[in-house]
Amino acid sequence: MLRKPRKRELKVIRSALGAFGSIDFLDENEVLIKEDNKDVYALSKDLARFLELFKIDFVSAGIKIGEAGSRRFRFTVEGAYYLARRNKKRVYVNERGEMLFLYGRDIFRGSIVDVTGDVRENDVVFVCNRRGDILGIGRIRFDADRIWDLDDDRIVVENLVDRGEYLRKQRLYNAF
């Protein structure tokens, strides 16, 4: 069964949304948590009111945007797509980097075309192509200002999860 988040869970979710400049997501959407595995789903306020009004018991509704732990919120790729509407904590890659990342590979300095200035060492970042489409989530190894001084063959972003996972069927619906 899905339920509203508890106070601690909501605090963790708000903190994660705030880190990516998407706190207003909660103004537009309702978040519900699946009791047995802590999956977090987002659905429109209208749908949430409908389900509440008619007292409908449901197991799933909306889009899975992540997993709520006791101390952190982990985004799914779908969650990253819907939540990261602002240009915060993003790494943009060229076509070659895009292809390799979608094959599960890490990102080298030579594939990076832009990085937002708010990126710090060990941050979780959204990896995007030149058009801004979110390809997945990674962990960056350097501050944004240090990246440009590195050699082109240096790994800069570790691949945590990418859209190619679904095609490779290795880890469906994992969150990071």
> pLDDT tens digits for 22-71?
888 888 889 988 877 888 999 988 888 887 787 766 667 788 888 888 78
Measured CA distances, 109 to 95, 133, 135, 137, 150 (Å): 13, 19, 17, 16, 7
Radius of gyration of the CA atoms of the chain, in A = 17
pTM of the model: 0.74
pLDDT (tens digit, 0 to 9) for every residue of the chain, 176 residues total? 788 889 999 999 988 888 777 888 888 889 988 877 888 999 988 888 887 787 766 667 788 888 888 788 888 888 877 776 666 789 999 999 999 999 999 999 999 999 999 899 999 899 999 998 889 889 999 999 999 999 999 999 999 888 887 666 655 445 55
Cβ-Cβ contacts under 8 Å for 147 (sequence gap 6 or more)? 109, 112, 115, 156
Cβ-Cβ contacts under 8 Å for 37 (sequence gap 6 or more)? 67
